[in-house]
Structure 1
Amino acid sequence: MTKELVLGVHLLVRDEEELLPHCLRSIVMIADEIIIIDTGSTDKTVEIAKAFGAKVIATEWQDDFAQARNVGLQHATTKWVFYIDADEEVLTGEAEIRHFLEKTTADRCMVHVTNRVGERPEEKIEHGLIRIFRTDKGFRFQGRIHEQLLSDQEMISEIPVSPLRLNHDGYLPSLMKRKEKVNRNMHILTQCLQDSPTDPFILYNLAVTHCQRGEYQQAVDKCAESFRNIDFQAPYRPTLLRDWAKILLKLGQSNQVVHLLQNEVQHYRNYADLHVLLAQALEEQGFLLGAFASYEQASGCKAEAGNSYVCEAGMNSYRPYTAMGRLAQQKGELQVARHLFEHALKLHPRYEPALISWADYLQETGASDSEIAEQLMGLVQPEQPEDTCMTIHALLHIGAFSTALFILDEHMLHTPKYTNLQLICLIQTGQLSVSVALIKKMIAAFPEENRQTLLIDWALCSWSEQRILPYTFYEAMEVEQKIMIRSIENWVLEEKGVQQTTDNKATIDFIQIIMERAVEYRLLRLAKRLSEWNSCLLIPYAKALYQEGHILLSADILLDLLEQQQLDAEGHLYLGEILYLKGFYAQASTMFEGVISLASDNWKARMGAAASYLHLAREVAFDTITAHPEAEIVRQDLQKLEASLKAMGGISWQMKQQGRRRRNIRAE
């Protein structure tokens, strides 16, 4: 008696010799039949396929995925077809799938797919896809790209989730680049658009492809065009909203994200990604209470098996808990923050943003660097160098460079991948000669595109120790670069007869880059000297100081620039923040009004002015009550002012005091 062929596995391939063996090994136990449609491989793909017992069908590639997949369906002899790609593999469910298919009455079944988009455990996107279907129901593929499964027969509405779970590596940046999938997709989608210029599905996939090419504004335009044409019931509509919002955030257009998602999240209450994206947009605009509420909504979303939503890992758990902890800490609610961070780390002890936030919290609450490092290492429980580096990154965030360097030395993390972390720690701890020796080794080992930053660091270390750069520094440099750097060096080392080019924009731009780098490394004497090259460098110098937490040094320069009427809007804002923090509310309000006169749409300045006026009004009310205790109306006004100031605590308009910046502020 002939054995019934239950499940056939179909693949569409071309030059997949590297990935195909992993895929076929994962399905060989469940497949009664393996059909491989080859569209012109020139490597060992066909040979590998046949070694696994696959039936290989050669077909000419016609820029049409549906056409090629349908060729395979013509050769199917099984009751069910499961289609998979070479960059995918079955993780679990092999033992249960046959029993599941024998019992189900459905025509189609979903498979849970995990798409890896990076190397970290949380860098993955999960969703359910229809990948298994009966062969006697007239199913066919349609669409040149991102093909859809269709049938002209009436279907049973139930689409259950099968036991199979897939891992997909095709979205890893290394694979995307190597296989040139993005350019191939753009070519096919452009052809499709010529045939159907208003098709929302094609427009959406064009947006995704533009995004993958780094063409973010074109991606936004295609998302908007797709959204105008899309049907509300379209299954990919929530994913379009998600991707559109992510691109807008990348472009810094958080106000557009709020406008887009505030109503849409009501339609997709269990889609955690949309709630998190809305929260991120609200947070960027300073609305802490609204952001907290949206993160909280995300944390309450339930993860359902076979969820058709495209979901980033942790969007309903450790990601929003970490964000809520950060916001609670920002509002001064430290016990709430502690609870939320602990919960996030319990769910994912190696989630780096949670580790960084936990280190920041511990620093604010008075823990020593060694205590923080000990707690972090206890959470991470490092098994390999990459795990230890999570602790290093958290320590660098809070400026604990000596402790980070000790851990790097203790664990002998001196391979090229980790020497950059070592270099940062060495420079930050003042070990400049050792840093130069390390830089020389790194230049020989690192790719050429990384050398510009290393050369800047070399120059900073040498000039800080009043050393002239050696001939080897200039190797492979063009003549113009050599002249520019030697000119800067002469100026920095105060050689006699220096003739700096004060109006050369290229030189000034380069000096600004190395000056800001010097401030970041706390090489402040050198940074000050670089800022003296040209008066136009004073504003970026003062801003860099303020951003790194050197508040008093920054304030002196900003006040001088104000007196000379050379201060721009951002400089006014920074000076206003400094005055506000010192309690000089009248002077602060003047600064914020100055910002508004220069940039009327600056919401931070408007919030600063409002807060300053509330404090001034509060002072007047308090003085009045002190002089006239019987003034009940004024007492009521004071209570209202106190309530307004408390409410403004839920809006973040000042630069955050955290991590390295907090350390520098305290040191100053």
Structure 2
Amino acid sequence: MQNRLLGIHMIVQNEEHHLARCLDSFKPMGSECFITDTGSTDRTPEIARHYGATVLHTRWEDDFAHARNISLPLASTEWILCLDADEYVIQGLEELLDYLPKVHKSVSRLRIKIENRIGEGAGERVIFQPVRLFRAHQGYRYAGRIHEQLVRGGAKDDGKHEEGALEINDSFTREEDGIADHEPLAPLRLVHDGYLPSTIALGHKPLRNLKLLQQELADRPGQPFHLYNVGVTYCQLGNIEQAAEAFTESFLHTPLHAPYRSTLVRDYAKVLLAMGRYDEAHGLLAVERQRYAGYADLHLIYGEILEQQGLEERAYKSYARATDCREGFNGADLKDNNKAEIRGIHQQAIEQTDKPGSDSLREGKSSDDVHREPARLERHYVTDIGSDSYKAYTAMGRLAQKRGFLQESAHLYSLALGSEITYAPAWTGLADVLQQSGETDESITETLFVRWKEHSKKEDPDLSGVTYDDGQAYVVYALASSGAYGQALDLLHGDARNTRIKHEEYLYWMLCDNRVSDALQFVQKQWSDEQRAGVNLQPEQRLDLALTFWANELSVSESFMAAAEPQEREGWRLLNGLLDTGKRVHAEDDRDGEIVHQTLQAATELSKNILIRAVQMGQLAFARNLYEKMAAINSEHDGNGVHSRWLAAVLYCQGYTMAAAELLIQCMSQGDLDAESLFYLGEAVYAKGHYDQALILFQKALEKDSEQRQARAGAAVCYMRQALGVIRHEQTRSPADKVLMAQQTVLETQLRIAEGIPWRTVFHAKERRNQLADQTHFIMHDREG
């Protein structure tokens, strides 16, 4: 029997891939359902009728509000729930039916919670609480061509409702609806996945939205809400420069009391951060995070900005403040009730709160100006899930690790996993810091499994679908990310079939662990004929397959080369012959000289990709062999040292710093180095504590390229260390000199900030292992002598 309490109302167009899932999730409710179809050409109407829906047909008139309003007068239920086809229930349906009859008659609108998926990972979700439930026949209707708003009474469909009454969507991903500050929250939770990157790439929604927004702005020039949504749409289209322009204009004209303003601030700051406009982003959030003190996202973004500026202690403090924004937070972790035992300077950071207005005063605002502004305008923020917990803990763990507080870092990564056991960055961070702490791979494995068992025992509804195999996969991936490939493979007992590990990743790990014969057997046994022929493989997978054969001194098949891109085929053939130990390959033959040149070009470009992949795998002997063979058949291969410098950069970034330095020193003896090479060599010298020599190399890098930011920061750090050395020397003669002591304190602070700026090459566990590994001697001797 159909219930008369709640009805579902939707507008659709070509939603055959989503509609059944949506209606299935509401099937137990037996609700009245109206579906307004705006011109589907697929099976959408048929599916709707199959579920008992009343289908209303209308022409699409570039107006969401018009389409939404068609079904509202037809409702025979007390409440209306407006949905989209790409949404579905995950929680609270039965509770909702119990809840609605108890709602006081004075309440006519209700919020619900929607989890908006913006990526495939656990942390790639946005939570927002729009008004979707409202009483039927109470004068409610929608207004606005796009991002339509629920209005009541005499509002017309021309968008001329009260300025500031518009409510915001979920930013970057969502299309309709808004958040509100006073409507009660109903116990219903939905998932929306219509704006996953993969879905956006297949559809036209952002372009359609942009067209409608431009029409709205033509009708109402300068309307800040629509300008904000133009910025959101440009973000979806990947154009952050135009997004920043739209956000700037919207921010300048949005009233302080506008419900969407906090989300505008968040998205504006994220775009400025992505563009590297750190000073502007800092200035924005220094004020706005005080206004929206309970908005975890702002504290998290502010921490990222401070980190980029080298203010790591303040960044840590901002991340810690984000964790204070959780509902019901009392200083303890919500999941395990274990208070974080933060030590050292980080304990002071997490325990101290910001002084009101301190950041604002630094930005030129008076204390009175700050305190006259409302401290908090909204309670229901659009938020990235995990901003107030596991994302903040992971960021804190990363900073603690960078500063050498390894025990504290491991604890913070564990807290992150306590909040979200499926958060991959926390798993990889924990494995990384344990490796840095000197733990054996066996010990790291044991610790990771202990963490999994601790958290998986908890009665957490979010973990209901997480199995033991999932847990093993997280541990295995974490081990592999830290370079413990052998341990990861041993956990799988030589069989990837019954795990969640992809075959191509399993093959890559075997090659990284130098199990080349096992890799060949795996390919022959587990990979299909099409895969072994390289058909439909991604570029890196094709390289791995070729390297598997070449590392076993076998040639790749003719079918493999035939499946390559046309412009690469001859290059593959040349390299295949070059690496066949039974053949001698000559670049010159009877073919046209231009064809030979093109083949060499293709082989040279292809060999670069193969060399990068081989170095990533630690197959240095193979890399050296390929490099020398290419040099032997191509007299122009390294005439000016370009390729040697390029190879040195590849080696350096993968942690083979000694091999890279030797190669760069040889290049220097034969001619000039470019700015990048000089920086890498300077950084290697700096790491050894030779600051004077490092400074000379950084200065030479800047002479080559004055925009080399890393070299500039490195030179500044070297100057500070030299100055500190002079002051310390003077202090040995005048230990009580207060001026010298003050100068030393100032310099040490400045040095700490400069060292915090991300100027040095980041080496994680895998690269740290490579620094300690035997490194093939890559110096190429003069072959003419």
Mean CA deviation greater in 552-561 or 319-328: 552-561
Partner Cα distance (2:601, 2:289) in 1? 48
Q: CA deviation at 1:169?
A: 2.8
Residue 95 (str. 1) matches residue 182 (str. 2): no
Partner Cα distance (2:700, 2:673) in 1? 10
Mean CA deviation greater in 250-259 or 336-345: 250-259
- Aligned counterpart, 2:123: 122
Deviations 1:149-181 (A, max 9, x none): 112369999422222222223233454455653
Matched-pair contact (CA < 8 Å) for 1:23–1:86: yes
Partner Cα distance (1:477, 1:86) in 2? 40
- Aligned counterpart, 2:741: 636
- Aligned counterpart, 1:457: 544
Residue identity in the other structure for 2:741? Q
Matched-pair contact (CA < 8 Å) for 2:3–2:32: no
Task: Name the CA shift for 1:77/1:336 in 2 (closer, same or farther; >3 Å).
Answer: same
- Aligned counterpart, 1:235: 259
- Aligned counterpart, 2:503: 419
Residue correspondence of structure 1 range 373-388 to structure 2 within 5 A: 373-380=445-452, 383=467, 385-388=469-472
Q: CA deviation at 1:602?
A: 4.1
Matched-pair contact (CA < 8 Å) for 1:439–1:454: no
Deviations 1:182-213 (A, max 9, x none): 44434544544544453333333333333333
Partner Cα distance (1:24, 1:465) in 2? 54
Q: CA deviation at 1:41?
A: 4.0
Task: Name the CA shift for 1:376/1:409 in 2 (closer, same or farther; >3 Å).
Answer: same
Residue 512 (str. 1) matches residue 512 (str. 2): no
Deviations 1:329-366 (A, max 9, x none): 11011232133122212222221111111101111112
Q: CA deviation at 1:310?
A: 1.6
- Aligned counterpart, 2:688: 582
1:297 equivalent among 313, 321, 335: 321
Partner Cα distance (2:97, 2:719) in 1? 68
Partner Cα distance (1:503, 1:48) in 2? 55
Residue correspondence of structure 1 range 399-548 to structure 2 within 5 A: 399-409=483-493, 412-413=496-497, 418-436=502-520, 438-439=522-523, 441=527, 444-445=530-531, 448=535, 450-477=537-564, 480-489=567-576, 495=584, 497-498=586-587, 507-531=603-627, 532=631, 533-534=637-638, 535-548=641-654
Residue identity in the other structure for 2:82? Y
Residue identity in the other structure for 2:57? A
Partner Cα distance (2:739, 2:182) in 1? 67
2:481 equivalent among 397, 414, 419: 397
Matched-pair contact (CA < 8 Å) for 1:398–1:659: yes
Task: Name the CA shift for 1:93/1:332 in 2 (closer, same or farther; >3 Å).
Answer: same
Task: Name the CA shift for 1:53/1:601 in 2 (closer, same or farther; >3 Å).
Answer: same
Q: CA deviation at 1:556?
A: 1.5
Residue correspondence of structure 1 range 301-316 to structure 2 within 5 A: 301-303=325-327, 308-316=380-388
- Aligned counterpart, 1:144: 145
Partner Cα distance (2:535, 2:558) in 1? 18
User: Given the two structures, how large is their TM-score scaled by the length of structure 1?
Assistant: 0.88
Q: CA deviation at 1:604?
A: 3.3
Gaps of 5+ in 2: 156-164, 166-179, 330-377, 454-465, 589-595, 632-636, 775-785
Partner Cα distance (1:260, 1:442) in 2? 55
SS at match of 1:74: helix
Matched-pair contact (CA < 8 Å) for 2:535–2:563: no
Q: CA deviation at 1:369?
A: 1.0
Task: Name the CA shift for 1:54/1:474 in 2 (closer, same or farther; >3 Å).
Answer: closer
Deviations 1:437-487 (A, max 9, x none): 545626724995534323322333444455444423312346652322334
SS at match of 1:95: helix
- Aligned counterpart, 2:193: 169
Residue identity in the other structure for 2:66? Q
Mean CA deviation greater in 251-260 or 211-220: 251-260
Deviations 1:197-237 (A, max 9, x none): 53333333333333333444444444344444444433223
Residue 338 (str. 1) matches residue 434 (str. 2): no
SS at match of 2:107: coil
Gaps of 5+ in 1: none
Deviations 1:95-126 (A, max 9, x none): 34454454322232211111123444433211
Task: Name the CA shift for 1:262/1:438 in 2 (closer, same or farther; >3 Å).
Answer: farther
Residue identity in the other structure for 1:654? R
Task: Name the CA shift for 1:443/1:269 in 2 (closer, same or farther; >3 Å).
Answer: farther
Q: CA deviation at 1:47?
A: 4.7
Partner Cα distance (2:436, 2:478) in 1? 14
Partner Cα distance (1:242, 1:443) in 2? 50
Partner Cα distance (2:409, 2:59) in 1? 59
Task: Name the CA shift for 1:260/1:598 in 2 (closer, same or farther; >3 Å).
Answer: farther
Q: CA deviation at 1:547?
A: 1.0
SS at match of 1:114: strand
SS at match of 2:130: strand
Partner Cα distance (1:478, 1:119) in 2? 30
Q: CA deviation at 1:571?
A: 2.0
Q: CA deviation at 1:530?
A: 4.7
Deviations 1:250-269 (A, max 9, x none): 55555654454343323322
Q: Percent identity?
A: 35
Deviations 1:413-434 (A, max 9, x none): 3689611121111111223344
How big is the alpha-carbon RMSD for the aligned residues of Structure 1 and Structure 2?
3.6
Deviations 1:29-56 (A, max 9, x none): 5566332223334555445444544433
2:675 equivalent among 569, 572, 576: 569
Residue 24 (str. 1) matches residue 48 (str. 2): no
Mean CA deviation greater in 28-37 or 267-276: 28-37
Matched-pair contact (CA < 8 Å) for 1:287–1:652: no
Matched-pair contact (CA < 8 Å) for 1:512–1:537: no
1:609 equivalent among 703, 711, 715: 715
Q: CA deviation at 1:635?
A: 6.8
Partner Cα distance (1:450, 1:256) in 2? 43
Matched-pair contact (CA < 8 Å) for 1:66–1:145: yes
Mean CA deviation greater in 256-265 or 372-381: 256-265
